[in-house]
Structure 1
């Protein structure tokens, strides 16, 4: 019999970097509007080690103890029962609806730069129509199986790291080496200290959301050599690399553009355009980079368009959804659920088009994604606390810390930070009362609608919550 090939240390590090790092967060965090400005630079370091590292180690401990599929839903189900396991799947799927909408907006903006017409990025109608076309075309293809998407997903894995490295290198060359222009920002303790206002609070919740996803690599904790030593070492190494990309990327963009001119939706490409002007590089270079980012966005869309659907509608308890939504075709895809998802995303895109400006729309969608995506982590941290308190210790399994009380304390710290970031997401940040009312209705109303609708679906099904004893 053959033996399962062990995951190497370097492979686990790269897996974490690929899963967590996203170039679009650099402009989002350093913009004055909906961002932290220069304070985004130290914030990436602080929240990497406050949020990502402990989250990854906690997930690894749960994955080592319960090796079914290592999903958040499984761990929450073990702690609190089938009702809350379903709620996790529901929250993950609904959060992806907002994520799709924000990513489609980001795609449209990058495509406008790729076509050499950046002005299109400011057209709400162009962004809306293109987003609708893309989601429906990709939804149609996803029903036929996703083999065609392998090219996009393979190329897409490079779509964040390479543009970031190019931006860092070009900014350093233009400002530091060749001195083509003075730095657009002055880096001092005062200028990099976060200001306690609405934009900062919303931006911090976005940074915390950007660091979620550690559960993906944690599921491989049993497949690496010497996990007790290598897993935390890999997490710290990956955290350091991701931090370096975010910090140097943030320094690069703010050295080329003042924070007042950085837009969350177009900042990266605006920075590259300005750097090209300083270095005498033709703008076709920016079009090539935009094409690479566009491919990465398409790859991410293809990867996620069917996965949460299959988990929710394919694996959930029978009786919650009508059979027509759970029935699958010859490719194992629930077609009706895919269509429902495309309809909801279309309505969401049309609704946020009421807000002023593409950049505002993009920021609101990203913030709504952060708010809804953090809900499942509240249940995850509660599950970890309960399991850590009750589970019997087993020799040889990876644990974040042997001290039960310390593990529980870390769980509570992560829970408080997560709840605080959810509350911060809904802080009013728009320029006038009318826009703030629309914003709050969409943020708070959307979040409550997501939670309550999931609980309603479970109650309507008549299913009982089954809770097994923790072993």
Structure 2
């Protein structure tokens, strides 16, 4: 008999999808615009974005326990057209995200090999990224029964290094008496108001996004109505705490102007390990754990958005070859198509002058469109709560409808502000800012426009009449 996904399987799956140890270094780096100001920002956005979105997803998943996640929820509220659009936006954002995350993975592999200089080699990054993505894509076609082995190990591979950094930094400072690298005052902890700090807000939200990912596998979860919300809340507490404590720990070891986005965690651990008399072997083991966490996250994100887009949307939008699923309910040909597209992006960005330039351009392409699906998600939740007062909700974010809707409006407004602020001009010259805005705003317009064009062609070809799937429950 097929083994179901249990509570801690789901917790590990959520942590693997939600917690990215790389964000601890990126958020506290001076180049990110926040520095020590990242510490209170993590706390604020954990409460006004992460926790509400996680609870909203838990309620929707328990109320509509069907594979599809975002697609199913938005479709319930607004019909097939916007169900397709949320799936499309979610998938296209992940296309560029895969490529940037693979760059981070290869940095850790270079440390595992004891050759950190390879982290700056474009050829090494390209070849390793291509090989790894194809292998992970094939693994994802076996479904989460196999994938959860990697996600469980991956969650530990991400959280254990973070816990080690936190523990070792506090031991170094408070037990061994080493002086902290940063000074914590109201002035240093207050985020600076600048274009860089405004643009960084969307990245903080992106780092805290992903609560909906595991909802795509609710049909594989044991006792979903109880397990899913419990796992979501446990994961929310773990992830929020790790980001805040991790940010404090890394800035205790390195000053913000010495922290780099791609290697900051390993550099901080190397420094504090040296203070405690631990040899270089330690860093290679930690890099291996972080690599596992990245692999686990990529497997989840390969399987989930593509399953939502090609496996759940209205038949006829894409060809049968792309939507045909295997015995694990995964559209294998779509996974292969995705791997081809990611390979082309990796080859194209390899023409840029450096690994850092490649990494930053890919993140730029991801940041803005990554938040679009959440606008539709929160708007759908508000509509469903307003119009379906009599609907049975096995788990409710709040039993009081007014409170639930008010909290959903708050997180919706925060998300829209994050999208607007992500386009803040952060380059040094007018020409560079013009190109940056073309990439951010122009790219987003192209992605949204292409999705609407695909839907329009489908309607013209089939004569499909959009409608909301479920009948409205009377008040």
Which range moves more in the overlay, 66-75 or 83-92?
Answer: 66-75
Task: Find the partner of 1:412 among 400, 409, 414.
Answer: 409
Moved more, 358-367 or 252-261: 358-367
How many Å separate the matches in 2 of 1:127 and 1:5?
A: 37
Q: How much does 1:48 deviate?
A: 0.7
RMSD of aligned Cα (Å)? 3.1
Partners of 2:222 and 2:144 in 1: CA distance: 27
Does the 8 Å contact 1:110/1:294 carry over to 2?
yes
447, 451, 454: which is aligned to 1:450?
447
Mapped contact 2:36–2:251 kept (Cα < 8 A): yes
Aligned residue runs from structure 1 range 204-219, under 5 A:
204-216=201-213
Tell me the CA shift for residue 417 of structure 1.
0.6
Q: CA deviation at 1:420?
A: 0.9
State how 1:41-440 maps to structure 2 within 5 Å. Answer: 41-69=39-67, 71-139=69-137, 151-180=149-178, 182-216=179-213, 223=224, 231=229, 238-328=235-325, 333-353=330-350, 355=352, 357-394=354-391, 397-440=394-437
SS in 2 for 1:419: helix
Q: SS of the residue aligned with 1:157? A: helix
CA contact (8 A) 1:26 1:246 kept: yes
In structure 2, do the counterparts of structure 1 residues 179 and 204 end up closer, same or farther at CA, with 3 Å as the change threshold? same
SS in 2 for 1:26: helix
Higher deviation after alignment, 66-75 or 93-102: 66-75
TM-score under structure 1 normalisation? 0.88
Structure 1 residues 350 and 433, CA gap change in structure 2 (3 angstroms)? farther
Gaps of 5+ in 2: none
Stretch of structure 1 that moved more, 35-44 or 343-352:
343-352
* SS, match of residue 299 in structure 2: helix
SS at 2:307's partner residue?
Answer: helix
Question: Quick check: 1:77–1:85 contact (8 Å CA) kept in 2?
Answer: yes
Q: 1:11 to 1:119 in 2, by over 3 A?
A: closer
SS in 2 for 1:58: helix
Distance 1:175 1:291 in 2: 26
Separation of aligned partners in 1, 2:311 and 2:72: 15
Q: Is 1:464 aligned to residue 462 of structure 2? A: no
1:145 to 1:66, Cα distance in 2 relative to 1, 3 A: closer
Partner SS for 2:189: coil
Cα distance change on mapping 1:57 and 1:138 into 2, 3 Å: closer
Alpha-carbon separation, structure 2, partners of 1:400 and 1:152: 30
CA contact (8 A) 1:64 1:222 kept: no
User: Cα distance 1:204–1:278, how it changes in 2: closer, same or farther (>3 A)?
Assistant: same
In structure 1, distance between residues paired with 2:22 and 2:365: 16
Cα displacement (A) at 1:297: 1.6
Q: 1:68 to 1:275 in 2, by over 3 A?
A: same
Q: 1:59 to 1:139 in 2, by over 3 A?
A: closer
For the residue of structure 1 that corresponds to 2:30, the secondary structure is coil
Measure, in 1, the Cα distance between the counterparts of 2:143 and 2:6: 28
Q: Does the 8 Å contact 1:78/1:470 carry over to 2?
A: no
After superposition, give the CA deviation of every residue in 1:260-296 in whole Å (9 maximum; x if it has no partner): 1111111101111112222222112101110111122
Higher mean alpha-carbon deviation, 12-21 vs 122-131, is at: 12-21
Decide whether the 8 Å contact of 2:122 with 2:350 is kept in 1: yes
Once the two structures are superposed, residues 21-69 of structure 1 have per-residue CA deviations (whole angstroms, 9 ceiling, x without a partner) of 2211101110111241101111111111111222222223333433333
Shift of 1:105: 0.6
Measured in 1, the distance between the counterparts of 2:327 and 2:64 equals 31
CA distance in structure 2 between the partners assigned to 1:174 and 1:108 by the alignment: 29
After TM superposition, the structure 1 stretch with the greater mean CA deviation from structure 2, 252-261 or 120-129, is 120-129
Mapped partners of 1:221, 1:147: distance in 2? 13
The residue aligned with 2:31 is 33
Provide, for residues 411-465 of structure 1, a one-character-per-residue CA deviation record: whole Å limited to 9, x for no partner.
2221111011112222222344454344333322222222111111110112332
Q: How many residues were matched structurally?
A: 463
**Closer, same or farther: CA 140–76 of 1 in aligned 2, 3 Å:** closer
CA positional deviation for 1:144: 7.3
Deviation at 1:328, TM superposition (A): 4.7
